[in-house]
Amino acid sequence: MDFVITVCDNAVGEVCPIWPGGPMRAHWGVADPAAVEGAGAEAAFAEAYRALESRIEQFASLPLAELDKPTLQRRMNEIGAADA
């Protein structure tokens, strides 16, 4: 396992388990769409999907072989911090 990315806003303060291989970790929090009820629920799921899709595309476009670990960690954190 090379990367662990948490996405639940509630997970940011939680202690993560020990992951085999010591993967790089980042938090890309999004609001939990399951917490939205009524008319806004569908839009909440669409927004969470859009945000995660954008972040995954940004991550996938990184030149992984060319980045050292500190730079890659910084870029992963930046992706999570930016408005997707």
- Could you report the per-residue pLDDT of 44-72, keeping only the tens digit for each? 999 999 999 999 999 999 999 999 999 99
| Percent helix, percent strand, percent coil in the chain, to nearest 5 | 55, 15, 30
Task: Provide the domain limits for residue 74.
Answer: 3-81
Residues 15-39 have a mean pLDDT of: 88
Rounded to whole angstroms, the Cα distance separating 80 from 18 reads: 21
* Closest alpha carbon to 6 in 31, 27, 34: 27
Q: How much of the chain exceeds pLDDT 70, in percent? A: 92
**Do residues 11 and 27 make contact, with C-beta atoms less than 8 angstroms apart?**
yes
Give the predicted TM-score (pTM) of the model: 0.83
Range with the lowest mean pLDDT among 2-11, 41-50, 68-77?
Answer: 2-11
The total domain count for the chain is: 1
Query: What confidence tier does 17 reach under pLDDT thresholds 50, 70, 90?
Result: confident
